[in-house]
Structure 1
Amino acid sequence: MRNKVIFVLLLCLVTLHALAQKVDVDELLKQATYQTNIKQNYPNAIVLAKRALAISPDYTDVRLLLAKLYKLTNQPERARAEYNRILEKSPTHTDALAGVKSIDNNEQEQKIANLKNRLTITYNPTFFEKDGKKAWNLISTSYAREEKFGSIIGRINYLDRAYASGYQFEVEAYPKHKKAYSYLNFAYSNAAVFQKYKASYSYIKSFPKGWEGELGIRYQYNTNSLFSYGGAVGKYFQNYWVNLKAFVTPSEGKIAQSYTLTSRYYFNTADDYVTAIIGTGVSPDDRTRNSNFSERLEANAFRLSLGYQKLIWSRNTIAILGTYNRQEYIVGKKENEYDFAVSFQHRF
């Protein structure tokens, strides 16, 4: 009888100790999660997570949190080791598999980001519904260089239209600021198919929770000067990016307006995505129709684009974009225009 009592007491003590450990580990997980998500004190959260794992090494939620913390503190190999420990016991664990894949993708993106040079070629024909109207052919070649201050791009455009053809020369830059960057562009052409001068500036700033804003001005000159004033608001959430941009262009006592809504869904990397674009009016940022911007300025237009970009062979991207444009060419008369753009970029 005495031995049975002792055995029961020992069993109770072991059970109470295990329950106490469980309570301690849950409390440590709660504190570590608070330090991660609310306080964003990652070093303190790592200490708490390690303390919890010292008590309960097989507590998967804690190990997942520790792996996340290693990723947040730029320690990908330590994060990978934590995910692998989970996979040793549960080879099909969804979160752990996704974590390893995320690390692999980030490493690939980092390798790509370290490549400083980009060479891009784009071919963009435009077809018209009207019988006998010759297609336009736009070919662009650009070279970009990444530097600490930002990126700088040189571009040559060749456009063949029904009545003439010619070249346009562009210089573009994206200087970086604190939590922001600028966009600058200057273009020159002595060909009748392009504006003679074109200049652009935008200031783009990032805000908390994935928001971004843009303010900009565009200038074009051919036979007269045109100024366009624009703004945009964008939002990143999960794998999506959505951006709404508007421009107003005063001309001959009237104000022309254009609106463009762009959305993207990203896959494995920032270079892998599908995009959908819908817009009205003619935008000064529309390269395809910029050659006769002043002619289209006050005409009604509706456009819809669908595109896909894919990273291939580690350092190359290929992109396609199809556009339908319903364009007014004289008051009350409209025609359909169809674009198909394909581009190839090589990084080195």
Structure 2
Amino acid sequence: MNPIKFHILFLFMVISVWVHSQESMTGKTPEESFSEAQQLAFNDKRDDARDLLMDILHKSPNYHDARILLAKTYSWDADYINARNEFNKVLSQDKMAKDAWIGAINNELYANNFYLALGLSNKSLLYIKQDRDLSLLKAKATSSIGEVPLAIDLLSGHLKTFGQDTVAKALYRELKEQVNVNSLGVSASAEVFDIVYDPMAALKIDYKRMTPFGSIAAHINYGYRFGMEGIQYGLELYPKITNNVNAHLTYSYSQAEIFPQNLIGGEIYLTLPNALEASLGGRYYDFENSTATVLTGSLGMYRGNYYFSFRPYVTPVPNASPSFSGALDVRKYGKTAKNYIGAVVSYGFLPELTQLNINNQLISETVLYLESQRLNLIYQFPSKNLQNLWKLQAGVLRQELIFDPERFVWSVSAGINYRFMF
């Protein structure tokens, strides 16, 4: 016999004998070992269970049930990082592994990574569509980030789709008891300029109420600008059209020179797959001596605990090119949707934020081509009982003077908002 063939045959025989001896020593198949590991894990002997599961996975790395159970034991012992790693190994190979999705979502819920849990639940439903268990986990994750009304809507749809579900009904009743249908907000802000302009101040009081058809809000604005003061009254509606489509309608009225006499606005908001959202709308400003129409919209996305949104403004100008401006909003959320830090960076003349004065004449028209940049920092946080909400703002503005091109005015601003929910 050829020496090489002899050595190969000999090595094969040695390996076969060793494997047979190991099986004889344990006397158990991988399935039998997995069943034993299950019993150990469920009887609080998780260290022993993990030893056995890792031995199974050493021999059979693609035994997904064993890896999922190993991940769960880590999660039960609050070792969320190792649990996440093991769940990811399964889901990277099998996107239809429902037990792995459920375990991965629960692991993030246990770890208080609520936005990550919501992202995983959304992703799981892209692969395993219309699933009862994953749908319920999505509602739980949604309520965990503080979006209780949205979670209630999801649970309502869940119950209509899947019929009677004891867990879903219990969570639905619990969340309904938490909903505050009324809220009252008070905000104040001030802005100080380095040259030309006197300080400005604003005060706002608003009342908001949730209804089965959407929210309704009324507000009163007080403004002091350029040595003039005035009051504006407004009404806002947030009708719910479908689970994924909402609208915002607004109307404001004022007889003061520093506000438009009439402001009419409308916008449609769409919730899209992959944690995206978009909107499209416009506003009409009716000033004493002129009018302006501003087209706007937004594109936003959630990535983990972060939210990014860009909003452009396009103002058509008769016999000229349109005026463009925009704002980028970046937020990092805490444990709930009510807690975040953020920044808004804007470029161009934003009609909702700026008015000018020249030769003691207020320029209310928003159709202007001025170079302008603004940075606002925002910190929002709830009270300990989650019934009250605070928002702090600070900003800086650099803007070209209308009567002196290429010369700029700087300003700093600060504001505070308090909202009581009941």
Give the TM-score, by structure 1 length.
Answer: 0.74
Distance of 2:22 and 2:255 partners within structure 1 = 97
Aligned counterpart for 1:268 among listed residues 330, 335, 338 = 335
Pairing 1:183–2:248 present: yes
> For residues 17 and 106 of structure 1, do their structure 2 counterparts lie closer, same or farther at Cα, with a shift above 3 Å needed?
closer
Aligned residues with identical type, % of pairs = 21
1:218 CA drift (Å): 1.0
Q: Distance in 2 between matches of 1:120 and 1:138?
A: 14
Give the deviation of 1:260 after TM superposition.
0.6
- What is the CA RMSD across the aligned residues, in angstroms? 3.8
Q: Contact conserved, 2:146 with 2:337, CA < 8 A, in 1?
A: no
Aligned to 2:72: none
1:300 to 361, 371, 381: 371
Measure the CA separation in 2 of the matches of 1:293 and 1:193.
7
Deviations 1:72-119 (A, max 9, x none): 45379xx9xxxxxxxxxxxxxxxxxxxxxx89x829664696111111
How far apart, in 1, do the equivalents of 2:292 and 2:319 lie?
12
Deviations 1:136-194 (Å, cap 9, x if unpaired)? 11000000001121111100000112332110001111112221211111110001111
Q: Which amino acid aligns with 1:196?
A: Q
Q: 2:418 maps to what in 1?
A: 344
Q: Map 1:48-59; keep pairs closer than 5 Å.
A: none
C-alpha contact 1:121 1:345 (8 A) present in aligned 2: yes
* 1:289 Cα offset (Å): 4.7
Determine which of 228, 232, 240 is the counterpart of 1:168. 232
Superposed displacement of residue 253, structure 1: 2.5
2:398 alignment counterpart: 326
2:388 aligned partner? 316
1:251 aligns with: 317
Which has the higher relative contact order, 1 or 2, with Cα contacts under 8 A spaced 6 or more apart? 1
Distance 1:304 1:292, change over 3 A: farther
Residue pair 1:194, 1:292 contacting (<8 A) in 2 also: no
**Which structure has more strand as a fraction of its residues?**
1
Distance 2:268 2:219 in 1: 21
- The verdict on how the C-alpha distance between 1:107 and 1:238 changes in structure 2, with shifts beyond 3 A counting, is closer
Aligned-partner residue type, residue 299 of structure 2? V
How many positions carry a matched residue from both structures?
301
Distance 1:316 1:166 in 2: 29
CA contact (8 A) 2:290 2:365 kept: no
1:278 CA displacement: 0.8
TM-score (norm 2): 0.62
5+ long unaligned stretches in structure 2: 1-20, 36-55, 69-86, 111-116, 122-131, 149-174, 357-361
Displacement after TM superposition at 1:285 (Å) = 3.7
Instruction: Please state how far the C-alpha of 1:283 moved relative to its aligned partner.
Output: 2.3
Identify the match of residue 27 of structure 2 among 13, 31, 43.
13
Query: Do residues 230 (structure 1) and 244 (structure 2) align?
Result: no
Mapped to 1, the partners of 2:25 and 2:262 lie a distance apart of 87
* Distance in 2 (alpha carbons) for counterparts of 1:137 and 1:163: 10
SS at match of 1:332: strand
Name which of 135, 138, 143 aligns with 2:199. 135
State the alpha-carbon separation in 2 of the partners of residues 230 and 274 from structure 1. Answer: 24
Q: How far apart in 1 are the matches of 2:101 and 2:375?
A: 50
**Matching residue of 2:63:** 26
Distance (whole Å) between structure 2 residues aligned to residue 298 and residue 61 of structure 1: 51
Aligned mates of 2:106, 2:236 — CA distance in 1: 46
In the aligned structure 2, how far is the partner of 1:186 from the partner of 1:62?
42
Alpha carbons of structure 1 residues 16 and 176: separation in structure 2 relative to 1, 3 Å: closer
- After TM superposition, give the deviation of residue 212 of structure 1 in Å: 1.4
